[in-house]
Structure formats: structure tokens, C-alpha cells
């Protein structure tokens, strides 16, 4: 059946038979078959949503880090196995065929990948929910390593046709920037007219989001900015208008040109703010238009629609919804405010001060004059509310205001304008309530709630590790696929030696697959009997890749001192992109690659330590590494990592976590028990305590620990570098700037935990028992659980029944 249709598709689309078709044509033919299969379902799903009985959710996000969709879509339509079989029998290399799809890298890291996992869970749980985002022409930059340095190249992912999108020209809307607002009276009512604005055409491209073997196909709508054809009339004989038009066209198209490559570093870039308003305005106009088509009345918006904003990036949705309700729908302020604050919900993803969005007041006023007026009004009313209703907080008004000292605080706007405010792991939510957002929690206690993150087990287990998935199914049946909590049924097998062996064989196979891949691609040889110790995530000070490399440098020192050092050989695998302007992070990358060069070739260490820095870490690369990992490095400074989701993916694939008491690590430990995870380091309370009292002295740690001194002095003595300035930045950030992320403080605990990892690994049966226990408890971290909680506790939406 599949084979016949596949042959036919190749013939009708490319005039080719299986043996002449290129990998790209094979990929395209399969994609076309999938489209044939899902488009009818898609239409059907949309129709049933339009009939209106369901409340729907829109997930607004500046990032959707989809990666590839081909395998995921094959799995969800139920063709994954048969397709692989047919390709293999036809002598085609499935890997090469699927690699024809360029990763959709429309995100920086965890926040964007979470959005993608949520879409998969929404559709698979038959929930009426859609994504709204931007169709960036360039995704996150491609990382090239040149002499051990990161170099950024543009990621023109749309170079070839994107198979999964459909342009919906007829759904285009207009978004307005700049201009001024005229205020006038009309029948005793104050009215506002926005004039002299620049017009931008927002055109949506829809990507189908296929539910797992069900009838539901939801939509990810990505907006693209185009110029209006009729913005100018070309009348002037000297052509000035024409050049003016070209300027305009260029400036408009810039809006959806590229994704800002920053993660946890806020920069007040005007174009980024325009992108945010573009997303919000186009998305909302479209939502309201559809709502009115089905339900006629705007006043029941909160009964039919929930809008979740992914971090503060889309928080202009609050004043934009107000604007539409006030100016276009003619509602009064109180009524409009009640609707807005019953429709919008906000998720916070970081407590890092440097990542919190704050825009200059002038920028907002100039770019969106009407929106600015509305924010001012919201702010005034909110400050009054504190003054009259919460007199104990009067002293905090300046600190809580939405606009203060020429700055607009987006998190404040988001909190004031939504009915739900959630953190992404238990610890994170507690920190929001008790520290970062404490006064807001006092005013709106009922708004705060926790939704611990999750990952889609369909992509991160079924798709990436079919060998493990089928071993699990043959042991406990396949009920876990629909209900991932059933993975707990593996627990009785944790001690079973034949199951342990089977798990060990799968891990070995995945390690070999990965080793073969990097050998083929980079010519790097790794020892598949060594421990694969994996640290994959964006490069950031708080994620402490530096602590990892310091430990490696310490081990190297031990190897040089003792040729007979008892140590299980280890492959330290890093994958990380640094923000282009983040010098410290780039310096850490260079330190890792410089250390790799020396340590990998030194006879004193090369049989024990191998460092691999993987170029261009992205979703597809993660999918290859994760199944092969033994150790999962989750070593952020306690309190800094809101949740982490890589920790969950690695656990689900049987890696043991080596982690701090941070983010979701805390809940992983709660689930698996302290004996099945390696934890170390300061607690978040201790970190806060040091920060408040200012009692941490990095130099004291340096002075008192010979191991640290040895490692650190190598940074400034040409040990890893031709000059002694290359790593000075790192050296001084630790000693002169007092080690903001407590790397030195946690060093001792980390070394000890690493020793325990080594010893435990030598007792294979004990290791495997722990590994199985981790897999068994990973069901809790399926995004199906997370999304169900959002659906029940925030959105009030229910699964659909499709006729
Ligand atoms: C901030 C900015 C600032 C402006 C430029 C672009 C940009 C892009 C992203 C961000 C947000 C940083 C927040 C973030 O990514 N948080 C991560 O969210 C994950 C999902 O909840 C969570 O697992 C990670 O712990 C958290 O760091």
C-alpha cells in the first residue's frame, strides 16, 4: 500500500522511479503523501472548530523551535515503521532522506522547543489549540567552528521550499506602526483616531500540527511581513516616490527577516520590539475576526478563547486587545479590561534580571502611539489600585509600576493584564512568589500557579530511540505511548538482569550510531566503551559549562601526575551556541576547544579523556546525542535555571542526571529518589543568602583549594593558548568580579559527585538499575501532562470529539 502510493507519487510528481530519484525527491514524495493524508483531516478539524462549540487556546510565542517534521509526521500518521522499511528495502538511506529537511530553527533554546512540544501534545490530546508565531526568513544562526572559535553564519532555512507550510494570502491583515493619535469627541464619547501610520501587510503561513494517530490536525500560524502595494502612488516624475517606496519595502520586510539570537540577554533593539507588536497585532486581529464570524459577539471572547503568552515577548497583547475592544468594538474601559484580563494568561520563563524585558518609554510612544496611551492608562489605574486597596504596598509602587523612570516593564504589564501567571517548575514558581514577583503575589495571589515543563515523549523517545521504545513495549506493552505515566511499570524490571542487559545493548547501539555519525561527519573517533558525558544547551554563565571544563582540566592534571590513575574512560560531549555578542560565553567555547586539542592528543590523557565540542548544536543534533548519553549535565547555579527540559529528554533515554538543586532537577530527584541521581552544590536559599549578605569570597576559595589554583593558573600562563590574554576574561570574572555564578564554590562538590559517577558506572548492574528507574519515572515529564494541566487549570478547554 505505502509502497504503491510512494511509487506513484514519485512518478506523478517527478517522473522518476525509485532507483533514479534523488534523496530530495524521495523526501518530497513522502512529504506530499503525508500532506494528502492530513489535509482532509486538517480541513475537517478547522471546520469543527468553526462550528463553535469548543473553547480554543492560542499560544503566542516569538519562538517555535520545530526542528524537522518529517519523522514526527510519519509517526503521527502511523507510517513511521512501514516507511522506514520500504526505504530500507529499496536500498535508500533513511537518514539521508530525512536529512533533506532543513531544521526549522525558529527559536533559541528551551523556550522555543517547549512551544513546539506543546503543539505536539495539544494535537495528540485532541485539544483545540494553535500556535501563533513569526515566519522568520532566517532562523537562529548556524555555528561554524573556525580554529576553535564560533563563527556565525545566516541560517537561510527557506532557501528550498518549506514542504509543510501553506500561504494563506486571503487571511492577510494590516498592522500599523508610528503616526499620531487624534483625540476627539463623538456624541459625548472620547474617541481616538490613529493617523499617518506606516502600513504593513501581515500574511500568514500555516503549518499543520498532526495529532498522534487521531483525527486532529491543529495549526501553527506563522506571520510574514510584506509591503502594501498601494502604500504609495508613483506619480512624481523624478522618481522620488519610487525610491521612497523601495525604502519602505525594505524596512517592512525586515520585520520578519530574522530571529534575534539572544537567550537570557535582553537588548532594547527597536526591530525586536516591532516584531513583537507585529506578532501580537496580526495574531489578535485574526483571532477576533474568526471569533466574530462564529460567535458574533465580542463580549463572550473569554468564554471561547484563551491566549497564552510565552514569556513577556508577546505582552503587548494586553494593550492591543484593549485597543481593539475600545476603539474598534466601542466598548467602555471597564468592560474591555474585564474581557482582556479574563482572556490573557502569562508564563514566566526566567528570573534572570538581565533577561527581563524593559523598553524605553519613548520607543513605545513613537512606534505605537495609541498602544502607549493605553499602557499609560493601565499603569495609572494599577498604581491607584495599589494606593487605595493595598496601603501596605504604597512604598513599593515605584518598583511595581508598569512605567517608571522612562522605562516600560513588560513583566509588570503581563502580570497586571492576565488572569494566570505561571512558573515552569515548582522551585521556579516558589522563587517567583517569594522573591522576584513578591509584591505582585501579594496583590494577585490567586493568579499564581505552577506548570512544570514537559517534553513530547513521541519525539523524544518514540522517534529518536525506536530501539528503546520497542524494548519498553515488548516488556510492558505499548500503553505508555498513550499514557506515558505507565512507564512506571518498568520499575519491577529495574533489577532484572536480562532486562538490564537489553537496556545496556540499546544504549550501546545508540552510542555506536552516534560515534559513527560524528566519525562520518567530522572524522572524530570516540571510544564507545567510555562514559558519554553530555552537556548540551545554550552557552551561558549560569549554565556553567565552565564548571564542567574546570573539572576536566582537573582530571587532566591527575592523569599527568599519575599514569595509573584509576578512571573509567570518559567522552565529554558539549553542544552549545553562544549569543554573538556574549564575549564570556565565546571565551568558554574557545577554552573547551583549546582544552580538547591538548588533552585529546596528550599520551598522558588521551586514553582516558576525550573532549568533543559539536558544531552547530540544534534539534536534529540533540536527537542523535540524547539516546547515546550516559550522564546528563544539569549543573546551573541553583535558582537560575527556571526548569530545563534537556534534563527530561536525557532522563527519558536512560541517562543519569548529574545536577544541582535547580529547576526541574528538583522534581526529577523527587521522582527517582536521591539514590538515582547525582546531586551536589549550593541550594537556591544558600545562593540568595550569599547574594543578600555579600559574604561570598571567590578569592578565598581560590586561595584555599590547590586544585582550583592549578586549573585557573593554566588560564593565564599560555598552557592552552599561544598568549596569556586569551582566557584572562574568564580568570578575572572569577577573581575580580567575584564569580557571579559560584563556579569555584561548587567545584569541590562537583568533583566529588563526578567521582561517584565514575565509581557507580563501574558497577554496571547498579548503574543500569538506576538508568531503568529514571526511564520508569520519566512519564511525569511528558508534555501531555503539562498541557493537560494548562488545559484544565488555566485555559478551561476540553478534548474534541471529531465525527
Ligand atoms: C529572551 C530574549 C531576550 C531578547 C532577545 C531574544 C530572547 C530570546 C529568549 C529569551 C528568553 C529567555 C528565557 C528562556 O528561554 N527560558 C528558558 O525557558 C525554558 C522553558 O520554560 C526553561 O526550561 C529554561 O530553564 C529557561 O531558561
CA of 641 to the centre of ligand 1 (A): 10
Least confident segment among 115-129, 263-277, 530-544, 674-688: 263-277
Q: Residue 455 and residue 460: Cα distance in Å, rounded?
A: 7
349 is catalytic: yes
Residues 436, 567: one domain?
A: no
Query: Is residue 790 in some structural domain?
Result: no
Residues 422, 545: one domain?
A: no
Which secondary-structure segment (H or E) carries 3?
helix 2-14
Question: Does the structure show a pLDDT above 70 at 708?
Answer: yes
Q: Ligand 1, residues 59, 63, 106, 111: which to mutate, most atoms within 8 A of Cβ?
A: 111
Is the Cβ–Cβ distance between 614 and 640 less than 8 Å?
no
Residue 596 CB neighbour total at 10 angstroms? 22
pLDDT given at position 52: 73
Residues 389, 527: one domain?
A: no
DSSP 417-432: T-SEEEESSHHHHHHI
Q: Pick the atom of ligand 1 nearest to 644's CA.
A: 23
Q: Is the CB of 645 under 6 A from ligand 1?
A: yes
Residue 169 to residues 166, 173, 216, Cα–Cα distance (Å): 9, 9, 24
pLDDT given at position 239: 64
Residues 641, 760: one domain?
A: yes
pLDDT in tens, 187-221: 888 999 999 999 999 999 999 999 999 999 999 99
Is the Cβ–Cβ distance between 179 and 206 less than 8 Å?
no
CA of 310 to the centre of ligand 1 (A): 9
Last residue of a domain, one of 435, 454, 473: 454
Confidence of residue 765 (pLDDT cuts 50, 70, 90): very high
Q: In a 3-state reduction of DSSP, which class is residue 655?
A: coil
426 is catalytic: no
Confidence of residue 711 (pLDDT cuts 50, 70, 90): very high
Q: Pick the atom of ligand 1 nearest to 428's CA.
A: 25
pTM: 0.97
Determine the Cα angle at 169 with ends 163 and 172, to 5°: 125
Residues 448, 372: one domain?
A: yes
Residues 727, 646: one domain?
A: yes
Length of the chain equals 803
Q: Is the CB of 349 under 6 A from ligand 1?
A: yes
Query: Is residue 185 in some structural domain?
Result: no
Residues 513, 415: one domain?
A: no
Query: Is residue 31 in some structural domain?
Result: no
Q: What is the CATH number of the domain that holds 286?
A: 3.40.50.2000
Asked whether the CA dihedral 165, 166, 171, 174 is positive or negative, the reply is: positive
Query: Is residue 193 in some structural domain?
Result: no
Q: Is the CB of 641 under 6 A from ligand 1?
A: yes
Residues 515, 441: one domain?
A: no
Number of domains in the chain: 2
Asked whether the CA dihedral 38, 42, 44, 45 is positive or negative, the reply is: positive
For the record, the C-alpha cell of 379 comes out as 499603569
Query: Is residue 192 in some structural domain?
Result: no
Confidence of residue 231 (pLDDT cuts 50, 70, 90): low
Is the Cβ–Cβ distance between 646 and 601 less than 8 Å?
no
Residues 353, 432: one domain?
A: yes
Domain that holds residue 700: 508-781
Residues 530, 435: one domain?
A: no
**Scanning the structure block, which residue is given the C-alpha cell 512604598?**
395
Query: Is residue 208 in some structural domain?
Result: no
Last residue of a domain, one of 413, 434, 454: 454
For the record, the C-alpha cell of 465 comes out as 530511540
Residues 519, 432: one domain?
A: no
Query: Is residue 286 in some structural domain?
Result: yes
For the record, the C-alpha cell of 682 comes out as 549550593
Residue 730 to residues 588, 590, 591, 739, Cα–Cα distance (Å): 8, 11, 9, 9
For the record, the C-alpha cell of 47 comes out as 471546520
Residues 522, 435: one domain?
A: no
Phi, psi (rounded to 5 degrees) for 189: -100, 140
Query: Is residue 626 in some structural domain?
Result: yes
Is the Cβ–Cβ distance between 134 and 62 less than 8 Å?
yes
Amino acid at each position: 500500500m505505502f509502497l504503491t502510493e510512494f511509487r506513484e507519487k514519485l512518478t506523478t510528481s517527478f517522473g522518476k522511479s525509485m532507483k533514479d530519484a534523488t534523496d530530495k525527491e524521495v523526501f518530497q514524495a513522502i512529504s506530499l503523501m503525508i500532506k494528502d493524508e492530513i489535509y482532509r483531516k486538517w480541513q475537517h478539524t478547522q471546520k469543527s472548530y468553526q462550528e463553535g462549540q469548543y473553547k480554543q487556546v492560542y499560544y503566542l510565542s516569538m519562538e517555535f523551535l520545530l526542528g524537522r517534521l518529517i519523522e514526527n509526521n510519519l509517526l503521527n500518521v502511523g507510517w513511521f515503521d512501514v516507511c522506514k522499511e520500504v526505504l530500507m528495502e529499496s536500498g535508500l538511506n533513511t537518514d539521508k532522506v530525512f536529512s533533506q529537511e532543513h531544521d526549522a530553527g525558529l527559536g533559541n533554546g528551551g523556550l522555543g522547543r517547549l512551544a513546539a512540544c506543546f503543539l505536539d501534545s495539544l494535537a495528540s490530546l485532541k485539544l483545540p489549540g494553535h500556535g501563533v508565531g513569526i515566519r522568520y526568513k532566517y532562523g537562529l544562526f548556524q555555528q561554524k567552528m573556525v580554529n576553535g572559535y564560533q563563527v556565525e553564519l545566516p541560517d537561510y532555512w527557506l532557501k528550498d521550499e518549506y514542504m509543510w507550510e501553506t500561504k494563506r494570502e486571503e487571511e492577510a491583515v494590516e498592522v500599523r506602526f508610528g503616526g499620531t493619535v487624534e483625540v476627539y469627541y463623538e456624541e459625548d464619547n472620547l474617541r481616538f483616531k490613529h493617523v499617518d501610520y506606516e502600513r504593513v501587510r501581515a500574511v500568514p503561513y500555516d503549518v499543520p500540527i498532526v495529532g498522534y494517530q487521531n483525527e486532529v490536525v491543529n495549526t501553527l500560524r506563522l506571520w510574514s511581513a510584506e509591503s502594501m502595494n498601494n502604500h504609495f502612488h508613483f506619480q512624481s516624475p523624478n522618481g522620488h516616490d519610487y525610491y521612497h517606496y523601495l525604502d519602505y519595502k525594505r524596512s517592512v520586510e525586515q520585520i520578519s527577516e530574522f530571529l534575534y539570537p539572544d537567550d537570557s540577554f535582553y537588548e532594547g533593539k527597536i526591530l525586536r520590539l516591532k516584531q513583537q507588536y507585529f506578532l501580537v497585532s496580526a495574531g489578535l486581529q485574526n483571532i477576533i475576526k474568526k471569533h466574530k464570524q462564529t460567535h458574533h459577539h465580542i463580549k463572550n471572547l473569554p468564554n471561547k478563547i484563551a491566549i497564552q503568552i510565552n514569556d513577556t515577548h508577546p505582552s503587548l497583547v494586553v494593550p492591543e486587545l484593549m485597543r481593539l475592544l475600545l476603539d474598534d468594538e466601542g466598548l467602555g474601559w471597564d468592560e474591555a479590561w474585564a474581557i482582556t484580563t479574563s482572556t490573557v494568561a502569562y508564563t514566566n520563563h526566567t528570573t534572570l534580571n538581565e533577561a527581563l524585558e524593559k523598553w524605553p518609554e519613548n520607543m513605545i510612544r513613537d512606534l505605537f502611539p495609541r498602544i502607549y496611551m493605553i499602557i499609560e492608562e493601565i499603569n495609572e489605574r494599577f498604581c491607584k489600585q495599589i494606593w487605595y486597596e493595598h496601603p501596605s504596598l504604597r512604598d513599593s509602587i515605584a518598583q511595581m509600576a508598569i512605567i517608571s523612570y522612562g522605562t516600560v516593564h513588560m513583566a509588570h504589564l503581563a502580570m497586571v493584564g492576565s488572569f494566570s501567571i505561571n512558573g515552569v517548575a515548582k522551585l521556579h514558581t516558589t522563587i517567583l512568589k517569594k522573591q522576584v514577583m513578591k509584591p505582585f503575589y501579594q496583590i494577585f495571589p490567586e493568579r499564581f500557579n505552577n506548570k512544570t515543563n514537559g517534553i513530547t515523549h513521541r519525539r523524544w523517545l518514540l522517534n529518536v530511540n525506536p530501539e528503546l521504545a520497542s524494548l519498553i513495549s515488548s516488556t510492558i506493552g505499548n500503553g505508555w505511548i498513550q499514557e506515558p505515566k505507565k512507564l512506571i511499570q518498568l520499575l519491577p524490571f529495574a533489577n532484572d538482569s536480562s532486562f538490564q542487559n537489553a537496556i545496556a545493548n540499546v544504549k550501546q547501539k545508540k552510542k555506536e550510531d552516534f560515534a559513527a555519525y560524528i566519525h562520518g561527519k567530522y572524522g572524530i573517533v570516540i571510544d564507545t566503551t567510555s562514559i558519554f558525558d553530555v552537556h548540551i544547551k545554550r552557552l551561558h554563565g549560569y549554565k556553567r559549562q565552565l564548571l564542567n571544563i574546570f573539572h576536566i582540566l582537573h582530571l587532566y592534571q591527575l592523569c599527568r601526575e599519575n599514569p595509573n590513575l584509576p578512571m573509567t574512560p570518559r567522552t565529554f560531549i558539549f553542544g552549545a551556541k553562544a549569543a554573538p555578542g556574549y564575549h564570556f560565553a565565546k571565551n568558554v567555547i574557545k577554552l573547551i576547544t583549546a582544552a580538547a586539542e591538548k588533552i585529546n592528543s596528550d599520551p598522558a590523557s588521551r586514553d582516558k579523556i576525550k573532549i568533543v565540542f559539536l558544531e552547530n548544536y540544534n534539534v536534529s543534533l540533540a536527537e542523535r546525542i540524547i539516546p547515546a548519553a550516559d550522564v546528563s549535565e544539569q549543573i546551573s547555579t541553583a535558582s537560575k535555571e527556571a526548569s530545563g527540559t534537556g534534563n527530561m529528554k536525557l532522563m527519558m533515554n536512560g541517562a543519569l542526571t548529574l545536577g544541582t538543586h535547580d529547576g526541574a532537577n528538583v522534581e526529577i530527584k523527587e521522582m527517582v529518589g536521591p539514590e538515582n541521581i547525582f546531586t551536589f552544590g549550593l541550594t537556591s536559599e544558600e545562593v540568595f543568602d550569599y547574594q543578600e549578605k555579600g559574604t561570598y569570597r571567590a578569592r578565598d576559595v581560590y586561595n584555599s583549594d590547590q586544585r582550583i589554583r592549578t586549573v585557573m593558573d593554566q588560564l593565564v600562563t599560555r598552557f592552552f593558548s599561544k598568549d596569556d590574554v586569551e582566557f584572562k576574561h574568564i580568570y578575572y570574572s572569577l577573581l575580580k568580579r567575584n564569580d557571579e555564578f559560584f563556579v569555584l564554590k561548587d567545584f569541590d562538590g562537583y568533583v566529588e559527585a563526578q567521582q561517584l559517577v565514575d565509581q557507580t558506572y563501574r558497577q554496571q548492574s547498579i548503574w543500569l538499575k538506576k538508568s531503568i528507574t529514571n526511564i520508569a519515572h520519566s512519564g511525569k515529564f511528558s508534555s501531555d501532562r503539562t498541557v493537560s494541566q494548562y488545559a484544565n487549570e488555566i485555559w478551561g478547554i476540553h478534548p474534541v470529539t471529531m465525527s
